Amino acid sequence: MSKAISKMRKPTAGNVVAMDDARARIAAELKAICGVDDEQIATWLPRQLLAAMGPDIDVSLVRGLIHELQPRNALECMIATQMIALHSCGMYQLALATHPDNDTDGINITLNRAIRLLRTANELTQTWQSLKGKRASKQSVVVKHVTVQSGGQAIVGAVAGKTGGES
């Protein structure tokens, strides 16, 4: 047995309870941030995001990014984590493109990767805005056939109704 292992403290009932309390507190926070009720989903999605963004990423940054997007359910949390990961990877590819050791082919390859990643992130952002109701959808009405009876009138164009209680 190594010295490091022999010096480790054995778990006590108090330590186990404290670890369980901390785990429960973190799980509850992640469930609230991710907008889900299931603890597995609430921990799985941020873990995937951390893995996609690399080992040097700060956990509090990931938590903060998801929190800022305020997903309301598992689907929104999945889209939020994908948007964050794609943005991060796209920006990393842009940084690689400017590396001084890159030749023209290397620059083109990394720029094309960045463009594809960021374009996909943009598409997810548009999907996100549609889900959240933040994107103004253009509505139009197409009238294909109008019959105006003798003595009747037809109006073509925008019509505003009366306001207030006037008759």
The CA distance from 67 to 61, in Å, is 10
pLDDT value of residue 17: 61
List the structure tokens of 143: 């009238």
> CA-CA distances (angstroms) from residue 10 to 1, 3, 126, 152?
15, 14, 52, 92
Whether the pLDDT of residue 136 is over 60: the answer is no
More confident residue, 76 or 20: 76
**Residue 29 region by backbone torsions, left for phi larger than 0, else alpha for psi between -120 and 50, else beta:** alpha
Whether the pLDDT of residue 80 is over 70: the answer is yes
Q: Taking the CA of residue 85 as centre, how many other CA atoms within 13 Å lie in the half-sphere pointing to its CB? A: 16
Work out the average pLDDT over 82-111: 92
Work out the average pLDDT over 129-149: 74
Residues 6+ apart with CB under 8 A from 84: 49, 53, 62, 65, 66, 69
* Pair 53, 88: CB distance under 8 Å: yes
* Pair 35, 72: CB distance under 8 Å: yes
Q: Give alpha helix (H) positions in 10-160.
A: 13-34, 39-53, 59-69, 74-97, 104-132
